[in-house]
Amino acid sequence: MWRVFMLLLLPLLFADSLQDSKDSRINSPNKSPQPKTFSGTIVFTSSNSSIQEAVINVSANVINHTTGIVSTRIIPVAYILAILIGIPSNVFVLACLGGRKSLSSCILYCSLAVSDLLLLLSLTLRVHYHLNNNDWIFGELACKVVIACFYGNIYCSIHSHMCISVMRYLAVVHPFLYRTMSKTFYAICTSLSIWIVFAIAMTPEFLVQQSYRVLGEELVTCHDIQSYEKSFNRALIPYRLSLICLGFILPSLVITFVYGSIIYHLNRSSRDWKHYISASTLVFGIFLVCFAPCNALLFAHYVRLYTQQQYDLYYYYRAAVCLCSFHGCLDPFLSYLLTKTSTSQVKFRSFNSKDSKALSMS
């Protein structure tokens, strides 16, 4: 895990040296690809006190989208719905986890609930931002914290799902190995690794300016409009692509294999697992619906930046991000569904027709 993270940092560590030979092209922002947000250029203006202020200049199309009905009404309404449902349900899950007998599953579900809860809490200030015509009033540091918390907890939630699905896979497909494992130790190690890695992975969000005052407009944007004239800011492109691979593509492949194997092996069992198979299929389907569009659009957005220097896919990406917040409020109900479709002590015949012992499902 740490080796993977060091690979993510390489583009940032060597960005300046790699860009020195390209200064003539860097000075023109229209010729260089920009990361995830809308593009803008820095302009210095003088206030009444003769102090120069850095503001950002953007096109009229970007302003129209930033202050349009999708950004100022539809997105915040979706966030409010997710907050009203998700925060109480995740708090309830955390309160009930103490009564579970399996400490390993308790640790994994606690990690998932905490990441979902922090994700939803970070949306509260974003709701005010969108309803306030995309005018950020809480300052630069608060903007950085909210953005890092939002994206970091999305990836933490995805990886927590991966760990839970792997535990289910081992309990169903490799029951004897599952019984001999030190499940609590592995649950603690994986949960801590996820939180530490993605906490550090969000460090670049604190190293770049996130909020800018827009030239000619009475608003300050948070993360949505940025300048990428500096080489460090441009280095976020390979870095964010690496985050997509590590934070979504890799765990999605693991989850797809795991759920496919679980369904395949349960179909071969002598017992009727129709309800558990249906519930597992539903959980996997909702996972893909909530996370795949957002990350697919983000990946395609980077491809267009490299090939055509276009950022119009960011319009659709901002709307697709709402689906990630909905998954945070659905997690408690999906976990409850899986719990009710299987018993706490599962007995089934192994796939070589020999009886296996009772297993504690995660």
- Predicted pLDDT at 213: 83
pLDDT more than 70, % of the chain: 70
Residue type, 124: T
- Whole-angstrom Cα distance, residue 131 to residue 71? 8
Is residue 55 helix, strand or coil? strand
Residue 118 above 50 pLDDT?
Answer: yes
Residue type, 343: T
Task: Render pLDDT for 267-288 as a digit per residue (tens, 0 to 9).
Answer: 887 676 787 788 888 888 899 9
Task: Render pLDDT for 5-58 as a digit per residue (tens, 0 to 9).
Answer: 444 444 444 443 333 333 333 333 343 334 345 444 444 444 444 444 567 666
Q: What is the number of other CB atoms lying within 10 angstroms of the CB of residue 69?
A: 8
Distance of CA 2 to the CA centre of its chain: 19
Q: Give the chain's mean pLDDT.
A: 76
Residue 85 above 70 pLDDT?
Answer: yes
| Banded model confidence at residue 117, pLDDT cuts 50, 70, 90 | very high
pLDDT more than 90, % of the chain: 29
Lowest mean pLDDT segment, chosen from 142-151, 207-216, 348-357: 348-357
Residue 82 above 90 pLDDT?
Answer: yes
Task: Render pLDDT for 128-168 as a digit per residue (tens, 0 to 9).
Answer: 999 998 889 998 999 999 999 998 999 999 999 999 999 98
User: Superfamily assignment of 2-10+54-348 in CATH?
Assistant: Rhodopsin 7-helix transmembrane proteins (1.20.1070.10)
**103 vs 91, which has greater pLDDT?**
91
- Predicted pLDDT at 33: 35
Residue 348 above 50 pLDDT?
Answer: no
- Predicted pLDDT at 320: 87
Task: Render pLDDT for 125-137 as a digit per residue (tens, 0 to 9).
Answer: 999 999 998 889 9
- Whole-angstrom Cα distance, residue 194 to residue 20? 35
| Nearest to 223, CA basis, from 289, 120, 138 | 138
Q: For every residue of 74-99, which 3-state class applies, written as one string?
A: HHHHHHHHHHHHHHHHHHHHHHHHHH
| Nearest to 281, CA basis, from 348, 341, 346 | 341
Is residue 21 helix, strand or coil? helix
| Banded model confidence at residue 328, pLDDT cuts 50, 70, 90 | confident
- Predicted pLDDT at 46: 46
Q: Which token pair is 33? A: 């690809």
List the beta bridge partners of residue 46. Answer: 52
Domain boundaries, the chain: 2-10+54-348
| Banded model confidence at residue 316, pLDDT cuts 50, 70, 90 | confident
- Predicted pLDDT at 47: 47
Mark out the alpha helices in the chain (DSSP H runs).
Answer: 2-13, 15-19, 23-26, 60-66, 69, 75-96, 103-131, 140-173, 175-180, 183-201, 204-207, 231-234, 236-244, 250-268, 274-308, 313-340
Distance of CA 229 to the CA centre of its chain: 26
- Predicted pLDDT at 345: 37
- Predicted pLDDT at 299: 84
**253 vs 232, which has greater pLDDT?**
253
* Maximum distance among all Cα pairs of the chain, rounded to whole angstroms: 84
**189 vs 62, which has greater pLDDT?**
189
Residue 178 above 50 pLDDT?
Answer: yes
